[in-house]
């Protein structure tokens, strides 16, 4: 059986709207040493793509929390390739050597050629998507979790005894309700909203998605005109989640996904906020614009059949931003 990708017709409702399937591996790593998956240095490995907004937010958390020594990671190649000779599935693959593509690395654990192989190693009867991120347990040789919203929570709170940056809390108790509420509409209207625009198969669902997307961005612009971050003066998980969409927006989503009403650089607060977040070192190193641009324009053959990579706008996210104006 060939596992679906986002281009698969089964992932669309009868109205032609994209319906993103839920991740399958949902175990939790815990700080409790007696749990099934205790937080231990050297035990877990993160497989990610720089191109994928969901996977690369895990990498940002790993960097920000200072977990680089405790949790190893590997970056896949930017563009989907055939994953088996015997069927037509295309998905994430590893390079054969470190020199094949800048930023991508061979699988150091099993010499796997594809992410699919890892799913098949973890489960013999798996029928879901072969998606990244994959949080792998080297000891039990299995996937702990492949849902980024849960992986970032584990990185935030469960590894503090071995993290270099244990005091950074991106999901603080007093802001949890507010973060959850913001995440909900930002995910639906903006993070996944851009995908709903890009993969819509009928005009109606596209029109609805693009309206909701720009209403959502207008709402963020309004919040960020009054506050430094989405939840006030504290950087939180909600900001990292929004950032991963904003950094892709002008170079990819505006063109490739037809998110064309406005660019992020036309929103003064959103643009300066994107620059501020980009300039935080753990976030900078989670962004690779080459992988991002190549992935979307070349891998999504259903919406860009000739694989032409659109010219990049002239954007410098390293240039000065104005967000210090909120410093008290
Ligand atoms: N629920 C997942 C979604 C991850 C996801 O959709 N990843 C995409 C890349 S952006 C993927 O790996 N797709 C491969 C496929 O569909 O075959 C998460 O947030 O972790």
Is the CB of residue 198 below 6 angstroms from any atom belonging to ligand 1? no
Tell how strand 134-137 and strand 44-48 pair up: antiparallel
Of 48, 79, 129, 191, the residue with max ligand 1 atoms within 8 A of its CB, to mutate for a pocket test, comes to 129
Of 47, 243, 76, 224, nearest in space to 137 by CA: 47
Report the pLDDT value the prediction gives residue 20, as an integer from 0 to 100: 77
CA 42 vs CA 110, 157, 204: distances in Å: 16, 17, 49
CA 3 vs CA 8, 83, 116, 124: distances in Å: 9, 11, 9, 13
Is the CB of residue 129 below 6 angstroms from any atom belonging to ligand 1? yes
Beta strands in 97-253 (DSSP E): 134-137, 142-145
* 0.85 surpassed by pTM: yes
Report the pLDDT value the prediction gives residue 23, as an integer from 0 to 100: 80
Report the pLDDT value the prediction gives residue 14, as an integer from 0 to 100: 77
Give CA–CA dist 59/163, Å, rounded. 14
Contact 326, 228 (CB under 8 A): yes
**Could you state, in chain order, the average pLDDT of each consecutive group of 10 residues for the chain (328 residues)?**
59 80 90 97 98 98 98 98 97 98 98 98 93 98 98 98 98 98 98 98 98 98 98 98 98 98 98 98 98 98 98 97 90
The answer to whether 52 is a known catalytic residue is yes
Report the pLDDT value the prediction gives residue 11, as an integer from 0 to 100: 72
Residues in the chain: 328
| Residue 254 CA to its chain's centroid (Å) | 18
Contact 299, 72 (CB under 8 A): no
Residue recorded with tokens 């792998």: 136
Residue among 52, 58, 197, 220 flagged as catalytic: 52
């Amino acid at each position: 059986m060939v596992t679906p990708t986002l281009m698969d017709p089964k992932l669309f409702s009868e109205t032609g709207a994209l319906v993103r399937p839920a991740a399958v591996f949902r175990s939790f790593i815990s700080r409790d040493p007696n749990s099934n998956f205790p937080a231990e240095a050297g035990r877990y490995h993160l497989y990610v793509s720089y191109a994928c907004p969901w996977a690369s937010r895990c990498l940002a958390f790993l960097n920000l929390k200072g977990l680089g020594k405790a949790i190893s990671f590997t970056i896949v190649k930017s563009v989907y390739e055939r994953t088996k000779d015997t069927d037509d599935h295309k998905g994430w693959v590893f390079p054969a050597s470190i020199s094949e593509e800048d930023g991508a690395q061979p699988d150091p654990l099993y010499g796997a050629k594809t992410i699919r192989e890892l799913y098949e190693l973890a489960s013999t009867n798996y029928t879901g998507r072969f998606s990244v991120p994959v949080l792998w347990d080297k000891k039990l040789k299995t996937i702990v979790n492949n849902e980024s919203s849960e992986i970032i929570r584990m990185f935030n709170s469960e590894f503090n005894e071995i993290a270099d940056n244990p005091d950074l809390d991106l999901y603080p108790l007093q802001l949890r309700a507010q973060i959850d509420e913001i995440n909900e509409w930002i995910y639906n209207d903006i993070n996944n909203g851009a995908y709903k625009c890009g993969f819509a198969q009928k005009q109606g669902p596209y029109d609805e998605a693009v309206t909701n997307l720009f209403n959502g961005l207008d709402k963020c612009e309004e919040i960020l005109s009054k506050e430094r971050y989405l939840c006030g003066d504290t950087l939180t998980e909600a900001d990292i989640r929004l950032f991963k969409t904003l950094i892709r927006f002008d170079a990819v989503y505006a063109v490739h996904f037809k998110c064309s009403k406005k660019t992020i650089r036309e929103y003064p607060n959103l643009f300066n906020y994107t620059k501020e977040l980009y300039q935080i070192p753990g976030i900078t190193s989670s962004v690779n614009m080459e992988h991002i641009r190549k992935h979307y324009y070349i891998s999504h053959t259903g919406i860009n059949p000739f694989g032409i990579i659109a010219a990049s706008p002239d954007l410098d996210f390293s240039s000065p931003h104005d967000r210090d104006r909120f410093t008290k």
